[in-house]
Amino acid sequence: MKRAIMRARIFAVASILLLVAPFGLTQSAPSKADIEKRVDALLSQMTLDEKIEMIGGINDFYTRPIPRLGIPSLKMSDGPMGVHDCGLTTAYPAGIALAASWDVDLAQRFGTAMGQDARARGVHFILGPGMNIYRAPMNGRNFEYFGEDPFLASRMAVAVIRGMQSQRVIATAKHFAGNNSEFARMTLTLDRRAFSFYDTAKKDWSAEPGEFAILVGGSSDNFQLRGKFTLAH
């Protein structure tokens, strides 16, 4: 999991370097092969300490820069219902309200608007959409997500991601799995049976244009899946 997180973040950084500089929508998007080539080039030059630093962050919602490789510090915003941590912002509908519309076109417009808000604030990452599938009705964050049906959740998530990334902002499939309870969220453990719904959702959206980042569980080193801490997988 650590290696996957590091590569995902480097992939995002390389994408930003290729997509956003200059920071304009008229620039043609690089191919995935170009991005992968840049990722491999950056990884080959990074020290072990630099790779470890890329897994974490700095100053609350920024990635750590690596000046010698031209890797900037990228700004994140804690979604999924608005571009937060940057002053006043638009309050968007909760995820469950959006899902209740069953309208993927509306979901994409939702994502596009959030992407525009993010760009206006200099944000590179949106920590959203929230797409953790309901497994416990008591979960205090269920309102952020798209309900208990994996097909509906996957369709809405794909549409929101497409909208966000159409604005050259990185979407994060937030709490893709495991964030099923606010109570004891730092020590909660789940077994393999808890992932059957996620497997279904993944099949429904894995063939779609991909997001650049995934946030698993509570995003804490203390969060456990199948008896192991999240970053140990």
> Is the distance from CB of 156 to CB of 204 less than 8 angstroms?
no
Q: Considering its fold, how many domains does the chain have in total?
A: 2
Cα of 27 vs its chain's centroid, Å: 23
Cβ-count burial of 47 within 10 angstroms (0-12 exposed, 13-18 middle, 19+ buried)? exposed
Half-sphere exposure of 204 (CA within 13 A, CB side): 18
* CA–CA dist 72, 5 (Å, integer): 18
Which among 52, 73, 94 is the end of a domain?
73
From the first residue on, what is the mean pLDDT of each consecutive set of 10 residues in the chain (233 residues)?
Answer: 54 52 53 84 91 83 90 89 86 94 96 94 91 82 89 91 92 76 70 57 52 50 50 45
* Whole-angstrom distance, CA of residue 109 vs CA of residue 170: 16
Helix H or strand E encompassing 158 = helix 150-165
Final residue before a domain boundary, out of 20, 52, 73: 73
pTM (whole model) above 0.85: no
Q: Give the domain range for residue 37.
A: 1-73
Query: In 3-state terms, what secondary structure has residue 224?
Result: strand
Examine the domain organization and report whether 34 and 96 are in the same domain.
no
